């Protein structure tokens, strides 16, 4: 499910519960998820063994994020990389608490593991479940950070919008090297990371720029508005714990609330909340895209 705000919210919510915990045992119930990323994955017993033995008996020292990837850094120098893709979920359960994140499923608060729990990490004080209804996600083990860099896993990724280094000049510079429509630019992660279908549309609306616009046609004022919209929207979404649905919970038991702030996502055909004009729907870069032809130019 997650775009940057959801992954970041999940990271923050898990942090206090898993930091400094030792992984005592790892169960892999769907081996292809730990073998590689991409389509047509084959399960590999070698990879599975490497994954399990690499992680067992190590301690989680850091939990960080790059784009929509979650990165567990271990005391051994090893790295666990998790990408939730569409429906991945990391849920931590201990005797007293249950923290869920990612794409929620009906009974995740009461029953764990459930039929979609495919990788299970037993920690000293609880259990971390990786659930994934559509099985698109992946969990990869690297024996070192060097190894992770070598494989160029994050090769083409663009700027991190929540970092200090995300500045207007650099954003403009990178954007100017691109062509094609704005929606595509936001979805492909090469200039700026973290936007998905929801936030791409929300950013375009807030900036007052049509997602159909060719990047080449944007003037400096529009680029500035887009830059600020990205920052404002992502910061606010993280503040509110992300946009998920149903029983998405944060570490303190509160719920992600940004979905109530969506102006265009999921509202095609309904009146624009600002001007009342009927919101348009089209396909762009293969994804449903919603916008207001009055508020966006």
Partner DNA sequence: CTTTCTGTTAGAAA
Partner DNA sequence: ATTTCTAACAGAAA
8 Å CB contact between 229 and 177: no
8 Å CB contact between 225 and 171: no
Minimum gap (Å) between residue 34 Cβ and DNA = 15
Nearer to DNA, 77 or 268 (CB): 268
- From 2, 5, 113, 161, the catalytic residue: 2
Sign of the CA dihedral running 119, 63, 147, 134:
positive
How far apart are alpha carbons 35 and 108 in whole angstroms?
25
8 Å CB contact between 114 and 108: yes
**Parallel, antiparallel or unpaired: strands 88-93 and 98-99:** antiparallel
- From 47, 65, 68, 267, the catalytic residue: 68
Spell out where the chain has E strands. 23-28, 60-66, 69-74, 79-83, 88-93, 98-99, 117-123, 127-132, 138-142, 280-284, 287-291
How far apart are alpha carbons 163 and 128 in whole angstroms?
28
- From 41, 61, 190, 287, the catalytic residue: 287
How far apart are alpha carbons 253 and 107 in whole angstroms?
16
Minimum gap (Å) between residue 86 Cβ and DNA = 5
- From 3, 6, 8, 202, the catalytic residue: 3
Nearer to DNA, 58 or 189 (CB): 189
Minimum gap (Å) between residue 198 Cβ and DNA = 5
221 is catalytic: no
Distance of CA 189 to the CA centre of its chain: 12
Nearer to DNA, 47 or 68 (CB): 68
Nearer to DNA, 45 or 96 (CB): 45
Minimum gap (Å) between residue 278 Cβ and DNA = 17
In 93-167, which ranges are continuous DSSP H helix?
A: 145-150
Minimum gap (Å) between residue 132 Cβ and DNA = 9
**Which positions touch DNA (CB under 7 A)?**
1-3, 6, 37-40, 67-68, 83, 85-86, 103, 106, 115, 133-136, 178-181, 184, 187, 189, 196-198, 243-245, 248, 285-288
68 is catalytic: yes
**Parallel, antiparallel or unpaired: strands 117-123 and 23-28:** antiparallel
263 is catalytic: no
Minimum gap (Å) between residue 177 Cβ and DNA = 8
Q: Which two tokens stand for residue 254?
A: 């509160």
Nearer to DNA, 91 or 123 (CB): 91
Residue for token digits 């067992």?
56
287 is catalytic: yes
Nearer to DNA, 49 or 288 (CB): 288
List residues with catalytic annotation. 2-3, 68, 287
């Amino acid at each position: 499910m997650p775009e940057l705000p959801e992954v970041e919210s999940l990271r923050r919510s898990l942090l206090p519960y898993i930091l400094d915990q030792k992984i005592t045992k790892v169960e892999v119930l769907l081996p292809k998820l730990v073998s590689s990323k991409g389509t047509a994955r084959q399960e590999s017993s070698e990879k599975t063994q490497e994954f399990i033995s690499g992680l067992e008996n190590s301690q989680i020292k850091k939990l960080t994020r790059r784009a929509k990837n979650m990165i567990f850094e271990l005391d051994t120098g090893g790295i666990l990389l998790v990408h939730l893709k569409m429906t991945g979920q990391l849920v931590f359960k201990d005797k007293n608490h249950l923290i869920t994140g990612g794409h929620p499923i009906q009974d995740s608060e009461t029953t764990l593991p459930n039929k979609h729990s495919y990788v299970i990490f037993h920690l000293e004080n609880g259990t971390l479940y990786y659930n994934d209804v559509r099985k698109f996600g992946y969990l990869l083990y690297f024996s070192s950070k060097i190894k992770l860099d070598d494989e160029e896993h994050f090769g083409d990724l663009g700027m991190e919008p929540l970092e200090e280094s995300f500045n207007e000049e650099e954003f403009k510079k990178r954007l100017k090297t691109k062509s094609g429509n704005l929606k595509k630019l936001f979805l492909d992660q090469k200039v700026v990371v973290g936007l998905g279908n929801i936030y791409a549309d929300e950013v375009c609306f807030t900036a007052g720029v049509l997602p159909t616009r060719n990047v080449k046609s944007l003037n400096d004022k529009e680029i500035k508005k887009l830059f600020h919209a990205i920052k404002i929207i992502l910061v606010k979404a993280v503040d509110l714990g992300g946009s998920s649905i149903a029983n998405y919970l944060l570490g303190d038991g509160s719920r992600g609330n940004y979905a109530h702030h969506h102006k265009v996502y999921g509202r095609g055909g309904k009146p624009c909340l600002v001007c009342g004009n009927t919101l348009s729907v089209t396909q762009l870069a293969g994804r449903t895209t919603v916008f207001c032809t009055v508020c966006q130019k």
